[in-house]
Structure 1
Amino acid sequence: MKDTMTIRNMQRPEVDVLVNWAAQEGWNPGLHDAETFWQTDSKAFIAALVQEKMIGGGAITSYEGIYGFMGFFIVKPEYRGLGLGRKLWYFRRQRMLERLSPGASVGLDAAFQMQDFYGEGGFKFSHRNLRFSMGVPLKVASNGSGNFEILPLAEIPFDQLLQYDMTCFPAGREKFLRTWLNQEGAQALGVLQSGTLKGYGVIRRCGEGCKVGPLFANNGQLAEALLIELTKFSSGGAVFLDVPENNQEAMALVKKYNMKEVFGCARMYLGSKPNIAHERIFGVTTFELG
């Protein structure tokens, strides 16, 4: 059967199928993730087919050719254990590298049971990203000296946002952000001090409740204030946050609000670990696109 499998770029309706599979796997994708991800990089989506039927797929997103992210790797359950997933994954890894400049690094968020498999492919463990659910509404945060303000991100110059985002992400992602921030069923907020952006966050509706991602801020106080404002968007429904375990202030926030761990992934890199401000990352954007 491995020899009869064909691999090609996905067509737009097939991304909807992949997102539906992700929902069945319990990944709880956003309601508008398929279109948002397609608009970011339509060449990223790879399909595996047997007898012209899609049986697996995944994304290999390129950010300016200097950073890549592999995600959405799914093979239908009845086709697992046949070597098809291995063939698909190594095809995607090779195609990913071909889409990037020499020496560029590639990231992924691995299901814990898949770490050894990805390790065989050259990826090295960095840290865990843990998904937490939280009760809402959260308590009102202390504004301290009151020297910050939270406002809709649309009111902040996009160039300022892009520059801030690049301190927390390994490459510019203008195309992604323009779509992500303006998707239906979402809210994006920024926090300013003395007129300068010091953090931002996005919350979007998912199959179950809402997810916050990203949640970037210069310190825990600002991240907490942003999170409290964002959770109001959920109208009391479940809210999820994917927290990097290597940020001590983020884990302290988890503890403060008694968040419940419900899922997790291992962040791994092929090539050098990106030089970004890990201490500013309180919630990753998405396990699928980085």
Structure 2
Amino acid sequence: MTQPRSPWPAAWGTRTAVMGVINLTPDSFSDGGRFNTPELALRQASRQLSDGADVLDLGAQSTRPGAEEVGAVEEISRLLPSLTAIRSAYPQSLISVDTFLAPVAEAALEAGADWINDVSGGRRDPGMFPLIAAAGCPYVLMHSRGDSKTMDAMTDYHDVVSDVLQSLQEASNRAAAIGVARNQLIWDPGLGFAKTTTQNLVLLQELERLVAVGVPLLLGPSRKRFIGDVLNEKRAKARIWGTAAVCCRAAAAGVGVLRVHDVAPIRQLVQMSSAILPIR
């Protein structure tokens, strides 16, 4: 008899988990169009699981700066064929779906997704928190402002770490008032979303303040623009070593999950980090 899968990575609490990014879109900033058929997505899922991914994160709506929003119907049509193919091939894998729309999240959960990863932290769709409460699933609540068109103009903070913490806590309180349990939540400070390069670096320098709250933390630095700014590297795929440096810092701070494109090297990084870092 097949054992039911746990909604949490097997490594939870023993090392930083690795979440593999699979973009099912034609226009994502780093790999748009590479995995936007079920066959290509399944092949990438197989590769990432073999490379040691603890969670797969499927996204059918690009959230890069300036991206056009396609709406729930199109997002679902992009998502479900790949999601069902991966779930069928890997019934015990953990699958997260990256969406800020409740109808997409509902369809994903019905099709076998385990987590919902919401870049809007519940801001964009009032139906999201009731759905997550009813489902009882893990929910990545990310800090962001505005949307893909407006977020780059919304970087005014008094203290970026304090302001992000306050926003995450307020969103969590709203979610709790609707019935989302505290142990469903994973916080994401939203690197690259309504933050300047300097603000992203400050968040990374002060990660311990975020980790200290006690809510598991997810970080998504992979190939992002602020890394390119620091390294003067315009090619997203050439930012792997900058990404690795951020991931090493995150593992040292006790971040729970790293969301990355390059699973194999980052899995090696966190595995080695867990062997040499002091026990927290």
> Using CA pairs below 8 Å that are at least 6 residues apart, which structure has the higher relative contact order?
1
* Greater fraction of residues in helix: 2
- The higher radius of gyration belongs to 1
| TM-score for the superposition, normalised by structure 2 | 0.28
| TM-score for the superposition, normalised by structure 1 | 0.27
